[in-house]
Chains A and B, each alone.
Chain A
Amino acid sequence: DAGVTQSPTHLIKTRGQQVTLRCSPKSGHDTVSWYQQALGQGPQFIFQYYEEEERQRGNFPDRFSGHQFPNYSSELNVNALLLGDSALYLCASSPGGRIAGELFFGEGSRLTVL
């Protein structure tokens, strides 16, 4: 049973560029959440997708956008990259209707912005 998979695992971008990160949820899960984790910090909630719609959003600017596909996979897009966007981006999945805190995380995509 495959867990949550994310790609790419590492990437380097320059300021002003755009990036797309991808996530496939654990089998049987239909809800995907994205988190940003800066070095030495806890994960910060970006947004959550369920039934192909953004259901909840954290305190992140509109430069951060996402999408969920009919097969429940998801993408996170970040436009106009800033140095401060350098972080580990975590995707987490859960089954719809379950307690919102029982999440299964992927191994993350580490983004470095130069």
Chain B
Amino acid sequence: QKEVEQNSGPLSVPEGAIASLNCTYSDRVSQSFFWYRQYSGKSPELIMSIYSNGDKEDGRFTAQLNKASQYVSLLIRDSQPSDSATYLCAVHMEYGNKLVFGAGTILRVKS
């Protein structure tokens, strides 16, 4: 089992729709979770962090965490073509004290 798993996509949504990106992780004691955005040919950029169960909203982005289910998600409301990118889920693993990334989900927003 991979430490952090994401659907590779691509996930295609029309402009203005809600994009839903999902991630599961294996380390039950992980406490810190992150979403990074990576445009083609660029480096990853942190867009959201979440540490407690429930929802955390920042503008058009909402991160959701369910530690019991070992599940993290990112919702993007009113999706724009500029949101087209690869979204990387990252989990801080207590064992080894390291940040582990998933393979990423490609999001395509069609205008």
Known: A101-B32, A101-B90. A45 touches B43 (CB 8 A): no
Interface SS of B by simple majority: strand
How many B residues, CB 8 Å from partner? Answer: 25
The range of chain A's interface size is 20 to 34
Q: In this complex, which of A40, A56, A101 has the most chain B Cβ atoms within 10 angstroms of its Cβ? A: A101
- Other than A56-B97, A90-B44, give 17 A-B pairs with Cβ distance below 8 A: A40-B8, A41-B104, A42-B88, A42-B103, A43-B44, A56-B96, A56-B98, A90-B43, A99-B49, A99-B51, A100-B92, A100-B97, A101-B92, A102-B46, A102-B49, A104-B46, A105-B43
Q: Contact residues of A with B, CB < 8 Å?
A: 33, 35, 40-45, 48, 55-56, 58, 90, 99-108
